[in-house]
Structure 1
Amino acid sequence: MSQRFPGRRLSLVRLTFVIGVTVALAMGGTTGFRTWQDSRQASGSEPWFSAYVDVTATPTYAFEQPSADHELNTVLSFIVAAERDTCEASWGTYYSLDEANVALDLERRIARLRQSGGNILISLGGEANSNLALACDSADSLAAQYRDIIDRYDPAALDLDIEGEALTDLESRQRRVDAIAQIQDGETDPLPIWLTLPVGPSGLTTDGVEIVREFLEAGVSIAGVNAMTMNYASQEAADDLGQVVISSLEATHRQIMAIYADHGTPLGSQTAWRRLGATPMIGQNNITAEVFSLDDARELHEFATSVGLGRMSMWSANRDRTCADAYAAINVMSDSCSSIDQGEETFAEILSGGFTGSPSESRATDDPADNVRPEDIVDDPETSPYPVWNATATYPANTRVVWRKNVYSAEWWNTAIQPDDPALNATDNPWHLIGPVLPGETPVPILTLPADYYRLWDIGTTYTRGDRVMFNDVAYEAQWWTVGDNPAAGQEDPGASPWRVITQEEIEVLLAE
């Protein structure tokens, strides 16, 4: 085998860097490391697919006539308040439940779907109109509406679509939690409840995180969180929507694990994936520059099946077709077509592959064998490639540590910040997870300079660009003129500090001289 760089030596530091980059790339592009990190079987139902159907849209979508297995599960949407301040369920404000039975033959169509072996979910909420939790003035009245819906339609699961004002209004949030708690009270096998919430590239919004917490703290059993992976309003999403969708799911997965850990019921990684769903808006999104293509769907499906995502949905079955030639506004979202050329393909066929489970079985199951106590995971320095994290140490940017069988890299200078601390916003955590410690690893030597290699930093000395000093056994170089600036104290924001830490690569060269 020929050498690309003949005569060039792969040093220990370079080898360490290559290993780190390889692990990071593997975490982003394959599933082997995820499987190795948490090989326990996920608790919960088999992954399932169910497209949303807008019940009141024109033309009417014939969900009752499934032509393929992936059409058997249907999320009927949306039940909202009849009027803003009226605690009465309606379909999109257009039909009361009784009126929908007559005008839309809704219950007969549901019965026909069930004759084919299908299931329905009922989605309550959505972006438009008033959420029932906003319109009802008490948890009791809201629970009564929920019971009427459940008794009438006997759904396989309830889908609580919480967005807009319903996402931020604290009183309605509490009513919703209390009402669902009433519904589940005394039930040994409660109806599965899914929380459908908006996400961004960093995962759930702050309100979304708090809503999940509120349900858990009230003792409500939730089947999972369904992420609305759409309408990001960012240049990144305009350039590569599929990858942004995947990034948002990875961030939401981390949040779910953190939320459950904070609640005292930590989940294994695979179980957390099983309690997560994704709902992209197929084709043209509401944001003109964002289009979820068939290739994006394939990319999402490959990722979802690799991690064991519990639920796949899409908005909507009504739209899963190429627009007619007469539809000229191809960059405007239509209720009845995708605004892209799909040829003979459908998004449902692409996204549903392998998602053969049933939503009726998606109840949360808290298997004690699946719940790992983080404090029980002990790192062995002899089998860790990097030093085990220590709460009393300081870590400059790019420092790598091992903590609870995983390798982390410091994004910026920090001390006393635990790498797996469930900081719910990625921007709050100075640590970046690279990947797990691999079988057979041993410590990688960390190179340091002797304590007297450079002069000790002095508070009264003036330093100019290029001057080097030692401080607390760490070498620093001045980036510009400075006097009185503690080299270590400024590392929480290295870009603003006049000092930078001498890198391992530079130390290797210095020691070799």
Structure 2
Amino acid sequence: MRRSRTVGAVLCALATAVASAGLVLGSGAGAQAAATAATPLPAHVFAPYFEAYNGDSPAALSAASGAKYLTMALIQTEARGSCTPYWNGESSQPIAQSQFGADFTTMRSRGGDVIPSFGGYAADNGATEIADSCTNVDSIAAAYEKVITTYDVSRLDMDIEDNSLTNSAGIDRRNKAIKKVQDWAAANGRSVQISYTLPTTTSGLADSGLAVLRNAVSNGAKVDVVNLMTFDYYDGAAHNMAMDTQTATSGLHDQLAGLYPGRTSAQLWSMVGIIEMPGIDDYGPAETFTTVDAAPVYNWAVSKGIGTLSFWALQRDNGGCPGTGGSDTCSGIAQDTWYFSHTFAPFTGGGTPATDDFSVAVAPGSATVAPGGSTTATVNTAVTSGSARTVALTASGAPAGVTATLSPASVTAGGTSKLTVGASASTAPGTYAITVKGAAGTLTHSATFTLTVSGPGGGTGALVNGDFESGSLGPWSCESGGAVVSTPVHGGSHALAAAATSSQTGECTQKLTLSPNTRYTLSGWVQGNYGYLGVRGDATASTWGSSSGWAKETVAVTTGSTGSVTVYLHGWYAQGTVYGDDISVTS
């Protein structure tokens, strides 16, 4: 959370900031499967944050407040560069049953559970958020798996704010690790959900928060819930906190629709989470969430089918410090103890039905072939809950010249199918993502097979996937954060996003072999500040523009003696994401 409460955690982290041996085990190797997989959370759950650094018993406060489910804050490394997670970043509080294990068991005996949360302001500010601190994706995944199996939990929360919102390498590592954990969970019959906790504006996520989710989509990491911190706006404006919650979550709903175009409105609302801060937040009295605001927010969450309702933090739910803002131990307003907990507690319900669910995986997940060649892989399905259902399999995303077939095209969950992928002699060299999807009624799951076509191959001037309608980047390559997006687009359903930040231009490239000593025209539609479209190599030419809407950029290109060029699109440092669509090279 973005709060002054992190001061204590920072001091503890500094006091214990010593080099620690990090987790070096690969995904799945760091934790043994528990005897029983965790019970999934209810479809609608109230889970306020619990400050794990102040010595309170989560089981005792859960019983006193009536909040059966708690989000446990927070887990981080003890020092920058470490890969070992600890509660509050304190090496004296390892991820072990000796830390909170008995409390969690007691809470489950009363029908509750916990959601461990990684990160928070102190970790994000001090580079001890595990994906910022640790540069090994397998070690990050192993840390997540250790928490899951040690405490037998079914959801992990990622509290990402401050510097972690602009650490593109950390964002990418985190989502890659999440994908590994999800694959591990599916292979072991576990139900594991991932929630992201992000700061918000009163109209939805800022682009930095949205970029975290875009990267998750591009890495194939499933995000189940996006929790908005509907407080600490720091915008100097007057606030009706209950109304701001409604506009912020409505904005998030629309943003999620752009990221997940195949989902219904009800499914999108179920992905939305709300985190309030009862009383006076860190900014001050202008941002005060009162007892009068609680019922409208509760009713809004119920009416929209929102998935998770929460607040920061359980220890603040009392009126012990009138007029004080941002306290760890009280709300700063006149209220009965546990007023907000009692108001929000009935939100938990809806249950998780005994759905007949399944998983899909492809092994191996990638292969390289020459033009004219072919390869095979095995599509594995498994029952993850309920009974086995018939799963219809399809393969999509293959570019021109590539075929992908499945035999059989339908299996009973638990069965396998053979994926055969072939590239014609004229297929352009590059890397292509082929999506294998399984469908059983309204349930769908997918996995990605990455095909690399080697050799010169390809026709003259054959720029591939210039309209991005394959839904994937290949054969384009991008700097961190680059992705194919569904909004904004110029034509069709997809476009390219080049993620320019303070440390990179976000360049996306594709290599081509054109005819030597020949004149071509490179053109494309570009949106954003300082959007550069050009080529380098055996020809050098570029054009640029700045436009809040789509604008066509065109430049003449004349090749030299080899015809080997690289087409590129990029933005400029700290100028924001640039979008491209319908890019072509014509003679």
TM-score interval (norm. to shorter): 0.5 to 0.7
Shift in alpha-carbon separation, 1:254–1:65, aligned structure 2, 3 A: same
1:343 aligns to what? 336
Q: What pairs up with 1:130-209 in 2 under 5 angstroms? A: 130-188=128-186, 189-209=190-210
Aligned-partner Cα distance in 2 for 1:312–1:96 = 31
1:215 aligns with 2:216: yes
Deviations 1:108-152 (A, max 9, x none): 222222222221110001111220011101101211221222221
Deviations 1:322-359 (A, max 9, x none): 11xxx47x232110111111136611121233332469
Aligned-partner Cα distance in 2 for 1:295–1:367 = 45
2:514 aligns to what? none
Indicate if the aligned counterparts of 1:53 and 1:61 stay in contact, CA closer than 8 A: no
1:13 aligns to what? none
2:349 aligns to what? 356
TM-score, length-scaled by structure 2: 0.51
Aligned-partner Cα distance in 2 for 1:99–1:192 = 19
Deviations 1:175-212 (A, max 9, x none): 11111111122533441111111111121121221211
Residue 106 of structure 1: how far off its partner (Å): 1.6
Indicate if the aligned counterparts of 1:56 and 1:94 stay in contact, CA closer than 8 A: no
Aligned-partner Cα distance in 2 for 1:113–1:332 = 31
Indicate if the aligned counterparts of 1:283 and 1:338 stay in contact, CA closer than 8 A: yes
State the SS of the aligned residue for 2:335: coil
Residue 172 of structure 1: how far off its partner (Å): 0.7
Shift in alpha-carbon separation, 1:290–1:272, aligned structure 2, 3 A: same
Residue 229 of structure 1: how far off its partner (Å): 1.1
Residue 98 of structure 1: how far off its partner (Å): 3.3
Deviations 1:21-61 (A, max 9, x none): xxxxxxxxxxxxxxxxxxxxxxx963111111011125x25
Deviations 1:295-343 (A, max 9, x none): 11111111111111111111111111111xxx47x23211011111113
Residue 79 of structure 1: how far off its partner (Å): 0.1
State the SS of the aligned residue for 1:124: strand
Residue 161 of structure 1: how far off its partner (Å): 0.9
Q: Which has the higher strand share?
A: 2
1:273 aligns with 2:269: yes
State the SS of the aligned residue for 1:137: coil
Q: Which has the higher helix share?
A: 1
Aligned-partner Cα distance in 1 for 2:305–2:111 = 24
1:393 aligns to what? none
Indicate if the aligned counterparts of 2:317 and 2:337 stay in contact, CA closer than 8 A: no
Which amino acid is 1:227 matched to? L
- Residue from 54, 78, 90 that aligns with 1:57: 54
Residue 217 of structure 1: how far off its partner (Å): 2.2
Aligned-partner Cα distance in 2 for 1:72–1:114 = 8
Aligned-partner Cα distance in 2 for 1:360–1:165 = 39
1:257 aligns to what? 257
1:87 aligns to what? 83
Residue 216 of structure 1: how far off its partner (Å): 2.0
Q: What pairs up with 1:23-38 in 2 under 5 angstroms? A: none
Q: Which runs of 5+ in 1 are unaligned?
A: 1-43, 372-415, 425-491, 493-513
Residue 234 of structure 1: how far off its partner (Å): 3.0
Indicate if the aligned counterparts of 2:273 and 2:309 stay in contact, CA closer than 8 A: yes
State the SS of the aligned residue for 1:90: strand
State the SS of the aligned residue for 1:86: coil
State the SS of the aligned residue for 2:72: strand
Q: What pairs up with 1:294-305 in 2 under 5 angstroms? A: 294-305=291-302
Aligned-partner Cα distance in 2 for 1:364–1:123 = 27
Shift in alpha-carbon separation, 1:290–1:364, aligned structure 2, 3 A: farther
Aligned-partner Cα distance in 2 for 1:98–1:305 = 37
- Residue from 311, 332, 339 that aligns with 2:325: 332
Residue 96 of structure 1: how far off its partner (Å): 4.1
1:459 aligns to what? none
Aligned-partner Cα distance in 2 for 1:75–1:120 = 6
Based on CA coordinates, which of the two structures has the bigger radius of gyration?
Answer: 1
Deviation larger for 351-360 or 79-88: 351-360
Aligned-partner Cα distance in 2 for 1:354–1:110 = 21
Residue 360 of structure 1: how far off its partner (Å): 11
Aligned-partner Cα distance in 2 for 1:259–1:311 = 20
TM-score, length-scaled by structure 1: 0.57
1:286 aligns to what? 282
Residue 282 of structure 1: how far off its partner (Å): 1.3
Which amino acid is 2:204 matched to? G
Which amino acid is 1:354 matched to? F
Which amino acid is 2:157 matched to? D
Which amino acid is 1:178 matched to? K
Shift in alpha-carbon separation, 1:86–1:305, aligned structure 2, 3 A: same
2:74 aligns to what? 78
Indicate if the aligned counterparts of 1:89 and 1:97 stay in contact, CA closer than 8 A: no
State the SS of the aligned residue for 2:121: coil
Cα RMSD, aligned residues only: 3.3
1:115 aligns with 2:115: no
2:417 aligns to what? none
2:227 aligns to what? 226
Q: Percent identity of the aligned residues? A: 26
1:67 aligns with 2:68: no
Aligned-partner Cα distance in 1 for 2:351–2:64 = 15
Indicate if the aligned counterparts of 1:322 and 1:338 stay in contact, CA closer than 8 A: yes
2:245 aligns to what? 245
Shift in alpha-carbon separation, 1:220–1:345, aligned structure 2, 3 A: closer
Which amino acid is 1:280 matched to? E
